[in-house]
Amino acid sequence: MSGDIAKARDILKDQASLESVAAQVLQLAKAQGATAAEAALSEESGLSINVRLGEVETIEFNKDKGIGVTVYFDKRKGTASTADFSTSALEDAVRAACSIAKFTAEDPYAGLADADRMATEIPDLDLYYPWDVSPETAIELAKECEDAARSFDPQISNSEGASLSSHEGTRVYANSHGFMGGYSTSRHSMSCSVIAEDENGMQRDYWYSVARDRRDLEAAAEIGKKTAARTLQRLGGRRIDTCKVPVLFAADVAGSLVSHMISAIRGGNLYRKSSFLLDKLGEQIFPEFVHIHERPHMKKVLGSAPYDSEGVATYARDLVRDGVLQGYVLDSYSARKLGMASTGNSGGVHNVLIEPGAHDQQGLLREMGTGLLVTELLGMGVNTVTGDYSRGAAGFWVENGELAYPVDEITIASNLSDMFMQLQAVGNDVDHRGNIKCGSLLIDAMTVAGT
Amino acid sequence: MNIPIDSSIDNVQQLMLAPSGLELNNLEQVLSSIMCHDVDYADLYFQASRFESWTLEDGIVTDGVHSVEQGVGARAVSGEKSGFAYSDEIALPALQDAALAARAIARQGQDKRVQTWSRTEGHSLYLPTDPLASLGDRAKIDLLELLDREARKLDPRVKQVTASLAGGYDVVLLAATDGTHAADVRPLVRLNVSVIVEQDGRREQGSSGGGCRRDYQYFIDEERGLGYAKEAVRQALVNLEAEEAPAGTMQVVLGSGWPGVLLHEAIGHGLEGDFNRKGTSAFSGRVGERVGSDLCTVVDDGTLAHRRGSLNIDDEGMPSENTVLIEKGVLKGYMQDKLNARLMGVASTGNGRRESYAHLPMPRMTNTYMLPGQHAPEEIIASVDNGLYAVNFGGGQVDITSGKFVFSASEAYMIENGKVTYPVKGATLIGNGPDVLQRVTMVGDDLALDAGVGTCGKEGQSVPVGVGQPTLLIDGLTVGGTSV
């Protein structure tokens, strides 16, 4: 069992009380005549503090809980949620869900995930490292972080502050197949954002660290220094002429390209025919050197989960092997609509890894020679139906493998299908913070719009 | 919880507090306990909400969701500091705990008194109605099924229709140490239709929708719901014909209505009080300076009847206002909540908003739009030799510090020799906030507000907003297409 013993005991008690609420709700649904039902409950508490210019700005104490219940009357479905766990509120919620199910249409694909797919063992994935941090300690750490950023260089002229947040919670899922599972998780993060100014105006950037275990957070001063360095680098940003050039996506923004792929192979987008990767299973969507894995059971990692939000056991698999799409991202409903089986992805993917290549970002810059390094993306100009891609960007112009000058107020555009096939290299500078763990990605050519 | 029959403070208070035996003097005691620390201001925000949504796809309504939420947030403000805690239980012990936690922001200090209650007379911009009860559940489903059938009937190329109907209401009650005592009941409804069309293996989407602070009857009146279905199909079919968008800087004509998202991103966020107090906005310290051509007058107006972004009172109990942000190109002022107004030595403009009782308020927009000018839209288009005419947009984003903003067109056309010629694919437009309004060279006489679908995100909090503008000509904006 992870974490310290005293806290762990509390959390077991919390889990037991959530489980008893879940059982009560399933019982209420049955009493109302539901043929099947499921309930998802969560309880979370935490602290967020923000320090700005050396002074506390906000202290927020978070404490949230909630339950969502879905009932089925054969093939009719209704859902309700509440944050009130009193018996009368639970009865109201179940009644509301049942009332909705009287009106929704019979849907041949509706229902719980298949009983034989329920997780039978729930591995301890080492996700719970509570941190009983006092506001005073949190404030000291955030001050240290911001101080390191502000004292880094005289051109750091202002600050949006440094934040520390620490949250822990317990979730339980139960359904009328008899599945009842629960586990606790923790999440701690520290972030910083400062402003640098020169005669051309102000620039802002940020950096953050996030972990299950506070001991895995980057040191406060390191986060501050990195924030300052990133911000200073952006000073003097200028526009460039409209052109077509190779583009290197820095690791911390490259994951977004993979998330667009994930979105396009999600069951809901496939059965709605709203995807540029429709019917691409078994086909080449990346060059042969690209391998993408899903690893839901990585110990102590943020994206890990023993089962998905329908109780289906999660499992390690390849999404892309040798550039060929190996599987979709399906929950039980979309799987049934597509005549396939759930992939344990109700609620999303769990730890997507792009196999790193041989070079770090420096190496990829040399490989690119001349082009654009993108370090920030702005806006939502991604069309999942067509794959058309057009987003605001900032970064650096690169000549002979070296950063020449910062660039901003430009857009980059192409089509995701083309961008994937034109992938030249994957970096080994993997950003491990997010659910998608990806190094820098070099794309052969994109249209850059500027002056 | 049942909806109150009126939104009077007494009625709302009875509804919120009576079940747990709380009375106004309990709130005064709790606020006093916060004020025994060195606190300038404290407030309690009670909220109870009910919400539902119904979703149609593949011709049937497969899912309905009903949710209720309630709780109370306690905030203590001391100088620039805020302490905040909340509870999903509306009861005295939970309230006292939250107050104790919130006041930890400030040291023990001299007792200050809670000022005498002064009831806020809010606007009456909408009725305290319960949208959920305004239509039977069967009729809600019938409406969605009708839109599905009609959309498919419009064109055989329509392959998928997704439609959703959502509605709910928030009941809020406020008590603050400055004597504020206010209440509001806020209904909100929304209907969306989205279609996929297919022709020769090419698929495109179109979507449309609307909403307001009324009940579901709004979508049946004047066949508005059907109008959204038609509009979604029209947009999708236009996109089937769209060619590559151009890349580079060119003249851009923005259509009226929803393209006002430009103002929201490029100007609005940069004029929120918090960023300007901290000096982190590209507009900081620029009140009185020229930031736009003299054709540009921009307001934030929370006082429009039934609008999605409108509020009888803001989330700090201040009546919403019609605030002039930019007048004939000159920056007039910022949007303020109480904290930032006090620190900047100005008055709140009724822009203090929060997503829920579990979030801290901050300065936020309501309905932000540009006032109309002199030109007919046709004249504006006719003046352009070679440019882009963008009439529909998705979302946008801004970096308030550098002033760079983007917004993404979802329906656009080329203008050649003064004529709209062919549709082009959606592209992101990028510009610089303090600069873009200076390039506005023509303003249309066709001011329109959006159909009521906007949601604005800031620091993780979402609130409903409105945008609007007349047709505009911007002389030089970067268009992020693929065609060089």
DSSP string, B109-123: ----PPPPPEE----
Find chain B residues with C-beta within 8 A of A107's C-beta: 60, 62
Interchain proximity B427–A415, CB inside 8 Å:
no
Q: How confident is the model at residue B452, as a pLDDT?
A: 97
Residue B336: which residues within 8 A CB-CB, separation 6 or more? B273, B344, B346, B347, B348, B349, B351, B352, B363
Least CA distance to B94: which residue of chain A? A63
What residues have CB less than 8 Å from B237, skipping those under 6 apart?
B155, B157, B197, B204, B206
Of B137, B360, B401, nearest to A195 by CB-CB distance is B401
Q: Which residues of chain B neighbour A409 with C-beta distances below 8 Å?
A: 404, 430-432, 478
Mean pLDDT of chain A: 96
The residue in chain B having the minimum alpha-carbon distance to the alpha carbon of residue A203 is B402
- Which residue of B52, B280, B356, B400 is the best one to mutate when testing the A interface, meaning the one whose CB has the most A CBs within 10 A? B280
Position A14 scores a pLDDT of 86
For the cut 70, the answer to whether the pLDDT of residue B160 exceeds it is yes
Least Cα distance to B143 among B73, B190, B98 occurs for: B190
> Given an 8 Å threshold on Cβ–Cβ distance, is A381 in contact with B480?
yes
Strand order in the sheet with A436-437: A324-325, A317-321, A292-294, A352-354, A436-437
Rounded Cα gap, residues B438 and B440, in angstroms: 6
Can you tell me the distance from the alpha carbon of A1 to that of A10, in angstroms, rounded to the nearest whole number?
A: 13
CB contact (8 A) between residue B280 and residue A385: no
- Contacts of residue B104 in chain A, CB cutoff 8 Å? 59, 135
A58, A110, A195: residue with CB nearest B62: A110
Residue-level pLDDT at B5: 63
Contacts of B412 (CB under 8 A, 6+ apart): B245, B388, B389, B390, B391, B392, B423, B424, B425, B426, B427
Rounded CA-CA distance A175/B78 in Å is: 48
The tokens describing B6, both together, are 């009126």
A97: chain B residues, CB-CB within 8 Å: 66
**Alpha carbon of A167: minimum distance to chain B alpha carbons (Å):** 14
In this predicted model, what pLDDT tens digit does every residue of B384-437 receive, in sequence order? 999 999 999 988 999 999 999 999 999 999 999 999 999 999 899 999 999 999
With CB atoms and an 8 Å threshold, state whether A61 touches B101: yes
Mean pLDDT of A266-279: 96
Among the partner-chain residues A62, A105, A135, the one whose CB lies closest to the CB of B104 is: A135
Q: Binning pLDDT at 50, 70 and 90, where does residue A13 land? A: confident
Q: Express each pLDDT in B201-244 by its tens digit.
A: 999 999 999 999 999 999 999 999 999 999 999 999 999 999 99
Q: Name every chain B residue with its beta carbon within 8 A of the beta carbon of A63.
A: 85-88
* Tokens linked to B42: 């404290």
How far does A128 lie from chain B, in Å, by closest CA?
A: 24
- Interface probe for B, chosen from A81, A160, A205, A385 (most Cβ of B below 10 Å), is A385
Shortest Cα distance, chain B CAs vs residue A293, angstroms: 29
CB atoms A82 and B68 under 8 Å: yes
CB distance B480–A449 less than 8 Å?
yes
**Do residue B427 and residue A78 have CB atoms under 8 angstroms apart?**
no
Residue B113: its pLDDT value, please?
A: 83
Q: From CA A220, how far away is CA A137, in angstroms rounded? A: 12
Q: Give the pLDDT band of residue A289 (cuts 50, 70, 90).
A: very high
Residues of B in contact with A243 (CB under 8 A): 484
Kindly report the nearest CA distance between residue B305 and chain A, in angstroms.
31
Partner-chain contact A58 B478, CB within 8 Å: no
Q: Which residue of B lies nearest to A139 if distances are taken between CA atoms?
A: B105
Mean pLDDT of B323-350: 97
B320 touches B364 (CB < 8 A): no
Contact assignment for A105 to B61 by CB distance below 8 Å: yes
Least CB–CB distance from B404: residue in A278, A378, A450: A378
C-beta atoms surrounding B46 within 10 Å: 24
Q: How confident is the model at residue A437, as a pLDDT?
A: 97
Is the model's pLDDT at B477 over the cut of 60? yes
**Percent of chain B, pLDDT > 70?**
99
A408 vs B57, B70, B404: nearest CB: B404
Residues of B within 8 A of A81 (CB-CB) are 65-68
pTM comes to 0.95
Segment of A198-202, B119-123, B346-350 carrying the highest mean pLDDT: B346-350
The answer, yes or no, to whether residue A4 has pLDDT greater than 50, is no
pLDDT score of A10 more than 60: yes
Rounded to 5°, angle at Cα B185 from B182 and B189: 150
Model confidence at B4: pLDDT above 60: no
Q: Which pLDDT band, with edges at 50, 70 and 90, does B109 fall under? A: confident
Distance of CA B324 to the CA centre of its chain: 17
Q: What is the mean pLDDT of residues A112-121?
A: 96
Confidence of residue A1 (pLDDT cuts 50, 70, 90): very low
How far is B72 from B55, CA to CA, in rounded Å? 31
Is A394–B404 a contact, with Cβ atoms under 8 angstroms apart?
A: yes
Nearest of A291, A298, A295 to residue A357 by alpha carbon: A291
Contacts across the A-B interface (CB distance below 8 Å): 251
pLDDT higher than threshold 80 for residue B295: yes
Closest CA in chain A for residue B82 = A58
* Contact state of B65 with A81 under an 8 Å Cβ cutoff: yes
B160 and A100: CB-CB below 8 Å? Answer: no
Q: Is the pLDDT of residue B8 over 80?
A: yes
Instruction: Please tell me the predicted confidence (pLDDT) of residue B235.
Output: 97
pLDDT score for B1: 53
Identify all chain B residues contacting A110, using CB atoms and an 8 Å cutoff.
62
Say how far apart CA A327 and CA B49 lie, in whole Å.
Answer: 41
pLDDT at A7 over 50: no
The answer to whether B265 and B399 are in contact (CB under 8 A) is no
pLDDT above 70 as % of chain A: 98
Mean pLDDT across the stretch B91-115? 88
Question: Smallest Cβ distance to A381: which of B65, B86, B428?
Answer: B428
Tell me if A390 and B482 make a contact (CB, 8 A cut-off).
Answer: yes
Judge: B81–A244 Cβ closer than 8 Å, yes or no: no
Contact A447 B483 (CB under 8 A): yes
Chain B residues whose CB is inside 8 A of the A102 CB are 137
Average pLDDT over residues A41-56: 96
Give the distance from CA B389 to its chain's centroid.
25
Query: pLDDT of B226-236, one tens digit each?
Result: 999 999 999 99
pLDDT, tens digit, for every residue of A362-409? 999 999 999 999 999 999 999 999 999 999 999 999 999 999 999 999
The predicted model gives B441-456 an average pLDDT of: 97
Residue A348, pLDDT above cutoff 70: yes
Output phi, psi for A115, to 5 deg: -60, -35
| Closest residue, chain B, to A412 (C-alpha) | B480
Cβ-defined contact of A386 to B430 (cutoff 8 Å): no
User: Which amino acid is residue B215, in one-letter code?
Assistant: D
Interface test with B, best of A85, A388, A389, A443 (most B CBs within 10 A): A388
